[in-house]
């Protein structure tokens, strides 16, 4: 059962509810019952004033009865494929399902998300409630973890040297920190892959890279792209936990299957802010384009105004990329000069150097 504090009791399964009721619970004030099928559950003899029911399923007349006795009932909104009251982060298996990708929760969520803002206030409310629920679940998931972010290009393909480099980075960081990415393909996928295999011998990662290269990108066939990823996952008894934070705003880019926990948001602006917020052990920026540049300066802004004790390392990988192709580094240096972040911005040549920078001063527990 979920840990409780004071009069707040979180109930998220029917089994948990029935166990509490069988144990003699009579007063449900302060209970939050979330996404539970209550059909056939008799609450008639119990005090429900102050209880909150979020997206539950009820039998006939049960809602009116509960409300008349002081309970607060938030209904399940119609025609919404996403659970606006979910209590846990997604998994890749949940998002992909077992059939065609077209029929998956991920695909249906993307199709629905494109109508938010056009289908009236109910759809907008459902999206907001969903993202709030994911945000709450993410807060619980990261608690007690030292999370390091890896940002990089989504267009990097399996089989490319840049993909192998990102996987090696994820492997090096995943040994002592929890790796978080934007949850998509390319360098993000590779970093989550490396983190998942960070306790395995190096040859396991090499074998995985060769197998994944048989389907270089999701544009070939999303289903096949995901299946070879699941092949790799299924060969590992206990993948190391890592995090993906994608968005249905970029729903044409499917989530990678190597993040063990997926905080997928409808609204991209929320997702971008949250991704930077949770990476308190720092962020490594691999060569990328507009999206990665945006993330560099979003993170720089956070560090610029942060209390010196709260500044997190920023590590840019690839001297030529960040000084010549996209000369972000000179501006970042100028911003950092004289600020608390000055000693926390780094430009390195390769991913091995990046791992050394991030792990040489581990965050305090």
Higher pLDDT, 113 or 362: 113
Percent of the chain with pLDDT over 90: 81
- Residue 216 class from Cβ within 10 Å (0-12 exposed, 13-18 middle, 19+ buried)? middle
254 DSSP assignment: P
Residue 361 tokens read as 């001063």
Strands in 17-71 per DSSP E: 31-34, 52-54
Half-sphere exposure of 111 (CA within 13 A, CB side): 11
pLDDT tens digits for 327-363?
999 999 999 999 999 999 999 999 999 999 999 866 6
pLDDT tens digits for 147-206?
999 999 999 999 999 999 999 999 999 999 999 999 999 999 999 999 999 999 999 999
pLDDT category of residue 3 using cuts at 50, 70 and 90: very low
pLDDT category of residue 1 using cuts at 50, 70 and 90: very low
Rounded Cα distance, 186 and 12, in Å: 35
Rounded Cα distance, 24 and 215, in Å: 56
Rounded Cα distance, 188 and 315, in Å: 16
Residue 276 tokens read as 């930077």
pTM of the model: 0.87
At residue 5, the pLDDT reads: 41
Rounded Cα distance, 26 and 100, in Å: 46
Strands in the chain per DSSP E: 9-11, 31-34, 52-54, 72-74, 147-151, 178-181, 243-244, 261-262, 283-285, 314-317, 345-348
pLDDT exceeds cutoff 80 at 232:
yes
pLDDT category of residue 60 using cuts at 50, 70 and 90: confident
Higher pLDDT, 6 or 194: 194
Quick count: other Cβ atoms within 10 Å of Cβ 296? 23
Domains of the chain: 9-74 (no CATH), 136-359 (3.40.50.450)
At residue 123, the pLDDT reads: 85
> Which residues have C-beta within 8 Å of that of residue 173, sequence separation ≥ 6?
148, 150, 179, 191, 194, 195, 198, 284, 355, 358, 359
Which whole number is the average pLDDT over 293-299? 95
Residue 95 tokens read as 């998002």
> Which residues have C-beta within 8 Å of that of residue 333, sequence separation ≥ 6?
345
Higher pLDDT, 117 or 85: 85
Q: Pairing mode, if any, of strands 178-181 and 283-285?
A: unpaired
Q: Which among 76, 182, 74, 80 is positioned nearest to 127, based on CA atoms?
A: 80
321 DSSP assignment: I
**Cα dihedral across residues 270, 273, 278, 282: positive or negative:** positive
pLDDT category of residue 7 using cuts at 50, 70 and 90: low
* DSSP per-residue letters across 209-229: HHHHTTS--TTT-HHHHHHHH
Rounded Cα distance, 173 and 339, in Å: 27
Residue-averaged pLDDT of the chain: 92
In three-state secondary structure terms, 151 is: strand
pLDDT exceeds cutoff 50 at 101:
yes
């Amino acid at each position: 059962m979920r840990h409780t504090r004071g009069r707040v009791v979180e109930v998220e399964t029917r089994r948990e509810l029935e166990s509490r009721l069988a144990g003699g619970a009579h007063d449900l004030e302060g209970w939050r019952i979330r996404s539970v099928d209550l059909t056939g559950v008799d609450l008639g003899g119990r005090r429900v004033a102050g209880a909150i029911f979020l997206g539950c399923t009820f039998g006939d007349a049960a809602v009116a009865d509960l409300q008349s006795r002081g309970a607060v009932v938030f209904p399940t909104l119609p025609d919404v494929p996403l659970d606006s009251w979910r209590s846990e982060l997604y998994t890749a298996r949940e998002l992909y399902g077992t059939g065609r990708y077209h029929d998956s929760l991920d695909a249906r969520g993307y199709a629905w998300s494109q109508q938010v803002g056009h289908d009236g206030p109910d759809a907008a409310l459902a999206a907001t409630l969903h993202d709030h629920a994911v945000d709450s679940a993410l807060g619980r998931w990261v608690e007690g973890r030292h999370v390091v972010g890896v940002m990089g290009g989504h267009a990097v393909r399996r089989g490319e040297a840049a993909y192998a480099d990102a996987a090696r980075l994820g492997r090096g960081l995943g040994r002592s920190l929890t790796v978080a990415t934007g949850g998509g393909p390319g360098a993000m996928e590779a970093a989550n892959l490396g983190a998942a295999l960070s306790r395995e011998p190096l040859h396991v990662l090499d074998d995985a890279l060769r197998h994944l290269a048989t389907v270089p990108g999701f544009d070939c066939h999303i289903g096949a792209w995901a299946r070879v990823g699941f092949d790799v996952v299924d060969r590992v008894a206990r993948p190391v936990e890592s995090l993906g934070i994608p968005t249905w705003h970029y729903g044409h880019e499917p989530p990678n299957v190597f993040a063990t926990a997926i905080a997928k948001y409808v609204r991209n602006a929320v997702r971008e802010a949250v991704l930077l917020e949770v990476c308190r052990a720092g962020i490594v920026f691999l060569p990328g384009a507009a999206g990665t540049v945006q993330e560099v300066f979003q993170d720089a802004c956070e560090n610029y105004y942060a209390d010196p004790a709260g500044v997190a390392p920023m590590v840019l990988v690839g001297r030529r990329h960040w000084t010549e192709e996209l000369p972000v580094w000179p501006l970042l240096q100028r911003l950092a000069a004289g600020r608390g972040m000055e000693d926390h911005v780094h430009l390195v040549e390769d991913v091995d150097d990046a791992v050394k920078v991030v792990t040489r001063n581990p965050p305090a527990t």
